[in-house]
Chains A and B, each alone.
Chain A
Amino acid sequence: MMNKEILTQPEQSKRNFLKIILSGGIVALVGSILYPIFAFLKPPKQGEVEVSSVKVGKLKDIEKNSGTIVKFGTKPVLLVRTESGDLRAFSATCTHLDCTVQYRKDFGMIWCACHNGKYDLNGRNVSGPPPRPLNEYKVVVQGDNIFVSKNV
């Protein structure tokens, strides 16, 4: 086992030097193994196509007092046609816990089924747990085609 005899000065410094080299080497080894592993664990950024405007359908297909989910890039957007015929679009992702909201004909509101969150037709959170309003998107009708675009 370790001999505990008293070491001379140069012996002591030699031992210290070896200790530093060895522990430094071990730290470097462990680091060079762990760094790639942790870097690997982090998913790369998806090369998301930047969507600014999407054609979502034809006006004649969308009834008054109804709502549909449309694809906006990878995100769901809720397109609502009010009873008066106005078109509005909001992010369909509930601001509470990421569920996808829907339009409820029966009480004319946007509703989240997960925790009973409610938004009015301006996207404002009016009841239930949602902390913030839904993001609004711009709706443009050209001829019969409906376009949804980011509200800049």
Chain B
Amino acid sequence: MKSAWNKFYSWLDERVQLQNLIQFMGKKYVPVHSHSIWYYFGGVSLFLFIIQVMTGILLLLYYKSGEEFAFESIQYIMSKVNFGWLIRSIHSWTANLFILTAMIHMFSVFFEKAYRKPREMTWITGMLMFFLALGFGFSGYLLPWNELAFFATKVGTDIAGVIPFIGKPLMIFLRGSEEVNGATLSRFFGFHVAVLPGIFTVLLGIHLVLVQRQGMSEPLGLGANSKSGLKTMPFFPNFLLRDLLFWLVVLNLLAILAVFFPWELGKKADPFASAPAGIKPEWYFLFMFQTLKYIPAKLLVIDGEVFGVLLFSFAGLLWMLVPFWDKKSNRGEQNRFINYIGLFAVLYIIFFTILGWLL
């Protein structure tokens, strides 16, 4: 057994020089300090993404796209297929937890200014993946073709439609038609299972290679003072085992959520029914949804909605480009201003999410 493995290894090594690769993988160290806990959220997001890929592939075996089949096929998965209820429930719950952990990861990187030079590209790829995650959420939400999803998609694509100049064509591109109908469902299905995963995987690859290549960022002011730097632990196996332990905890949490709070399917979408009372988007879109409610219909010359959409787009863009305008952190100095912006963003999102939840 052992010698067969060794033979195989040297066969491979002779051809692709594994030695270098193993050295590259093996020489990563994780700084140990009081903020180390935040290092775990990138890894757990990766874990949740892997779960999404696996449960997503499983669901693909039975899911049927199309107005006449989508809802029924999910009903079938949940009632007839062995453990179908579990797989679908895990997929839905993981989607939400994934966005949550990715958000925590993003904010922790923001507050630690880990995006600063030389990690600008890691931050940008991360932000792009976060936007894709929202796209995954939005497109996947429609696939069961239920009432809530139908209207959420109508509203969501309609909002895309208010963007000046490109809005209308963008809306038609997203919907595959003037209206939300079977054509939209086919498109969203394609986005959800082919387009988004493809782009996401490329970005994820770059993101991970960068992390491996550059090592973990040390918080400003923690390691810089002492000559010897921070204490470290090897990534493999010390940190990885801690990672795995956290993953195990999250897996258990997921199992509890999926079993005791199974994801509902709701009523089948009916294009000729009116929207149900109290309809709301998923929680991660709620703060934007709630904000739009408070913007007056007309602001000087532009529509309130247009203003809201442009405002959020602009804020998102600034957020994504932070490594390029936060010069102070790049020089290794403290920048309190960034903390205030981050704090404002967190409080704003929490406040308006709760408001949107309650109202």
Contacts and interface: CB of A to CB of B under 8 A. Distances in A.
Contacts of B86: 36
Contacts, number: 26
Contact of A37 (B58, B62, B80, B248): B58
A27 B318 CA distance: 48
Contacts of A41: 58, 61
A21 B61 CA distance: 36
Contacts of B87: 36-37, 40
A49 interface: no
B83 A36 contact: yes
Nearest to A47: B80
A43 B62 CA distance: 9
A40 B58 contact: yes
Contact of A44 (B58, B81, B248): B81
B171 to A, nearest CB: 37
A152 interface: no
A39 B77 CA distance: 12
Interface string B59-94: 001100000000000000000111110110000000
A39 B83 CA distance: 7
Interface in A36-64: 36-37, 39-44
Contact of A42 (B54, B82, B248): B82
Nearest to A38: B82
A37 B87 CA distance: 8
A44 B84 CA distance: 10
Nearest to B82: A39
Nearest to A29: B248
Contacts of A44: 80-82
Contacts of A37: 54, 58, 83, 87
17 contacts: A29-B248, A36-B82, A36-B86, A36-B87, A37-B87, A39-B82, A39-B83, A40-B61, A40-B81, A40-B82, A40-B87, A41-B58, A42-B82, A43-B62, A43-B81, A44-B80, A44-B81
A111 B86 CA distance: 47
B270 to A, nearest CB: 26
Interface of B: 54, 58, 61-62, 80-84, 86-87, 248
Interface in A10-42: 29, 36-37, 39-42
A33 to B, nearest CB: 8
Nearest to A41: B61
The 6 closest A-B pairs by CB, nearest first: A39-B82, A36-B83, A44-B80, A40-B83, A39-B83, A40-B82
B253 to A, nearest CB: 14
Contacts of A36: 82-83, 86-87
Nearest to A32: B255
A106 to B, nearest CB: 41
A3 B82 CA distance: 47
B206 to A, nearest CB: 29
Contacts of B62: 43
Nearest to A35: B83
A29 B248 CA distance: 9
Contacts of B82: 36, 39-40, 42, 44
A40 B248 CA distance: 22
Given A37-B54, A40-B83, 11 more contacts: A36-B86, A36-B87, A39-B82, A40-B81, A40-B82, A40-B87, A41-B58, A42-B82, A44-B80, A44-B81, A44-B82
A29 B58 CA distance: 19
Contacts of A40: 58, 61, 81-84, 87
Contacts of A42: 82
Contacts of B84: 40
B15 to A, nearest CB: 31
Interface in A77-110: none
A57 B61 CA distance: 37
Contacts of B80: 44
Which among A29, A41, A43, A44 has the greatest number of chain B C-beta atoms within 10 A?
A: A44
A79 to B, nearest CB: 30
Contacts of B61: 40-41
A11 B84 CA distance: 46
A44 B61 CA distance: 12
A42 B81 CA distance: 8
A37 B81 CA distance: 11
A91 B115 CA distance: 69
Nearest to B62: A43
B51 to A, nearest CB: 10
A143 to B, nearest CB: 37
